[in-house]
Chain A
Amino acid sequence: MKERNLFQIVTIGIIAIWLVIFALIPNIMVFAVSFMERSEESFIKAAFTFENYRAFFSSMYFSIFAASFKMAFITTLICLVIGYPFAFILARSGSRFKSLLALFVIIPYWTSALIRTYAIKVILTTNGLINTFLIKAGVISEPLNMLYTQGAVVLGLVYTLLPFMILPLYAAIDKLDTRYIEASQDLGASRLQTLAYVIIPITVPGIVAGCLLVFLPSLGLFYIPDILGGAKNILIGNLIRDQFLNSRNWPFGAAASNILTIVMAFMLFAYYKSVRAINRRVL
């Protein structure tokens, strides 16, 4: 008994120290920096100010913030609309290989995300795969302008993040007890009614988890807008990176980063509430 307690203390202690060093301290530093001033020589100057936050909400940066959310929202919606039927069919197929099939969803991740994004670029570009094919087939005479559009960014985000939608949905739908569906049918519900009143509500934790796993990264994935969106389609992730690496405005980058963190925290809270409401957990 005593040894086990010691083992627990040591393991939990190590995890706690790890979290303090690599999560808590950096976050506190970012938080502190966001209230400081910029300095040419040493990046930051130890002076207290709200200026960074004020600047964020009053400038064009805020519109980037808003555009990012719109983009992330569209991406999440598309992933959900594609991912739910996909996960549903997979989980309910009754196939012996369904778990293996679900695993296949992440196979693209064996290739670097950067390379896959460049591949999309090759497909979309002016003399890329799609345009060449369509012109050869005689469907169009002029190449379509697909690259460096919002659509291209959304496509890249959806392609990259879809598995993060499918997997939690798959887990939630797979766990859904068939008896709930049978009970619903038994009580006179049609297939559509069963879907709307029983299946979707019970899998809400999976839906919220999937949406979070798509929405949050799509706010921060800066290389996709970089490669597919060009200079016009800057998102919040690009902004934060640029503040740290290009403009060297650490305090401002920290403030933007903090705002993003707070928004994400709210969403995690919403997930927690939805799980509590259903009284079951997916993640």
Chain B
Amino acid sequence: MENRKPVVELQNVKKSFDDKTILKNINLTIYNGEFLTLLGPSGCGKTTTLRIIAGFESADSGNVIINGERVNDIPPNKRGVHTVFQSYALFPHMTVYNNVAFGLKMHKVPKNEIKSRVTEVLRIVKLENFADRKPHQLSGGQQQRVALARALVNKPLVLLLDEPLSALDASLRKGMQKELKQLQRALGITFILVTHDQEEALSMSDRVVVMNEGVIEQTGTPKNVYEEPNSVFVAGFIGDINILNGEVLGLGDGGISARVEGRLCAIKTKKSLKIGDRFKLLLRPEDMRIEKLSENPETDGLMIGNVVLKTYKGATLDTLIRLQNGTQIKASEFFDEEYEDFDYNMDEKVSIGWVSGWEVVLPDEGA
């Protein structure tokens, strides 16, 4: 990724509406050909960021740079980026063909070239038989594809997509996610996609930008933000997470020894911690391991809890365990057919551990 050319850069971008700060200080570089996702809860400023890149909003301060050129004062119709709007905004009075041809006509492209390019892009989005339909005669998924074609036919430098799949039903959405990803690969156009759906972000993107309240919390590959979240917010927003409280008991080689919710353990971490420091330990449910206790267990140095809920999810067994201090822990384990004892009774007392190496240590934010 390093040797790639930046296409869009946001430098110290700030934006307020009616004295309410929406974007606090956005710094972001988007590289040519990548599929980048802005992920965050509703109202965190994703759409505003996209609209600043497109030119529909202007940044209060900072620089917006497209293809090496500062574009803060350049209107949307002169920027090399195109938008797929959240509700498509297809022109209701035009046929599919004329919708798609619109950008080319505005740029005074010769008639026969318009025809071949529109036909080609309609073929790519599998709508060649719908050229003469009006938007209201199409299904949601087809309208979505017209919106895509209308933007793509202009060969934009960057395609901006604002929750493009949110209006589609779940099964259609899954299919379109794949199609979008394949299309982006095939065309090599930079995509910046906005979504609040973490699964969508993880499955489609090369890089994910996690935003919260006008701030970029973390930027990284899907694997990176999922496995090594740098804050409780990111960890919690991207998938289920267990947050455990720990205390440093001793320092060792490349790690610490600690007590986590009663469990004595060694944890590998590069974070600099002192003896006595409190910290948070983040663990995904699928990294948790539950152990049955023997008849008369020695529970010192173990994390002990009671099973309060079991959910069969086909391939996995999801268990909810309540610790003595009330903390609830989610565990998600794959069925192992060779291990016959794999089941717990409700309210059974169990010991909880985790797969070593998958834990994420965060300094206690409250301290």
Query: Chain A residues in contact with chain B, CB under 8 A?
Result: 177, 179-180, 182-190, 193, 197-198, 201-202, 204, 277-280
Query: Which residue in B54, B56, B103 is a CB contact (below 8 Å) of A188?
Result: B103
Which residue of chain A lies nearest to B98 when distances are taken between CB atoms in the complex? A197
User: From residue 53 to 80 of chain B, which have CB atoms closer than 8 A to chain A?
Assistant: 54-56, 75-78
Q: CA of A190 to CA of B54 in the docked complex: distance in angstroms?
A: 15
Known: A180-B89, A280-B92. A186 touches B134 (CB 8 A): no
Question: Is A186 a contact partner of B93 (Cβ separation < 8 A)?
Answer: no
Question: Is A279 a contact partner of B103 (Cβ separation < 8 A)?
Answer: no
Query: Which residue in A186, A201, A278 is a CB contact (below 8 Å) of B77?
Result: A186
Chain A residues whose C-beta falls within 8 Å of the C-beta of B1 in the assembled complex: none
Query: Chain B residues in contact with chain A, CB under 8 A?
Result: 54-56, 75-78, 82-83, 85, 87, 89-93, 102-103, 106-107, 134, 136, 150-151, 154
3 tightest CB-CB pairs across the interface, nearest first?
A: A187-B103, A179-B89, A183-B89
Chain B residues whose C-beta falls within 8 Å of the C-beta of A204 in the assembled complex: 93
Q: CA of A185 to CA of B77 in the docked complex: distance in angstroms?
A: 5
Question: Is B75 a contact partner of A185 (Cβ separation < 8 A)?
Answer: yes
Known: A202-B91, A202-B93. A186 touches B54 (CB 8 A): yes
Chain A residues whose C-beta falls within 8 Å of the C-beta of B136 in the assembled complex: 279
Question: Is A182 a contact partner of B76 (Cβ separation < 8 A)?
Answer: yes
Question: Is A190 a contact partner of B77 (Cβ separation < 8 A)?
Answer: yes
The smallest beta-carbon distance between A126 and chain B, in angstroms, is 50
Chain A residues whose C-beta falls within 8 Å of the C-beta of B85 in the assembled complex: 179, 182-183
Chain A residues whose C-beta falls within 8 Å of the C-beta of B106 in the assembled complex: 187-190, 193, 197
Q: CA of A198 to CA of B134 in the docked complex: distance in angstroms?
A: 15
Which residue of chain A lies nearest to B160 when distances are taken between CB atoms in the complex? A186
The smallest beta-carbon distance between A100 and chain B, in angstroms, is 21
Question: Is A183 a contact partner of B83 (Cβ separation < 8 A)?
Answer: yes
Which residue of chain B lies nearest to A190 when distances are taken between CB atoms in the complex? B77
The smallest beta-carbon distance between A146 and chain B, in angstroms, is 42
7 A–B contacts, CB within 8 A, in A order: A183-B91, A185-B76, A186-B151, A187-B103, A198-B91, A202-B91, A279-B136
Question: Is B102 a contact partner of A186 (Cβ separation < 8 A)?
Answer: no
Query: Which residue in B56, B87, B93, B154 is a CB contact (below 8 Å) of A278?
Result: B93
- Apart from the given pairs A183-B89, A186-B83, A188-B106, 16 other A-B contacts in the complex at a CB distance below 8 Å: A177-B89, A179-B85, A179-B87, A180-B89, A182-B76, A185-B55, A186-B54, A187-B77, A187-B102, A188-B103, A189-B102, A190-B77, A193-B106, A202-B92, A278-B93, A279-B92
Known: A182-B56, A182-B85, A279-B134. A188 touches B77 (CB 8 A): yes
Which residue of chain A lies nearest to B93 when distances are taken between CB atoms in the complex? A201
Chain A residues whose C-beta falls within 8 Å of the C-beta of B102 in the assembled complex: 184, 187, 189, 197
Most buried by A among B89, B93, B103, B106: B93
Question: Is A187 a contact partner of B92 (Cβ separation < 8 A)?
Answer: no
Q: CA of A190 to CA of B87 in the docked complex: distance in angstroms?
A: 22
Q: CA of A177 to CA of B82 in the docked complex: distance in angstroms?
A: 18
Q: CA of A189 to CA of B76 in the docked complex: distance in angstroms?
A: 9
Which residue of chain A lies nearest to B78 when distances are taken between CB atoms in the complex? A188
Question: Is B82 a contact partner of A187 (Cβ separation < 8 A)?
Answer: yes
Q: CA of A132 to CA of B136 in the docked complex: distance in angstroms?
A: 60
The smallest beta-carbon distance between A49 and chain B, in angstroms, is 47
Which residue of chain A lies nearest to B153 when distances are taken between CB atoms in the complex? A187
Most buried by A among B103, B106, B154: B106
Q: CA of A278 to CA of B151 in the docked complex: distance in angstroms?
A: 22
Question: Is B134 a contact partner of A182 (Cβ separation < 8 A)?
Answer: no
Which residue of chain A lies nearest to B54 when distances are taken between CB atoms in the complex? A186
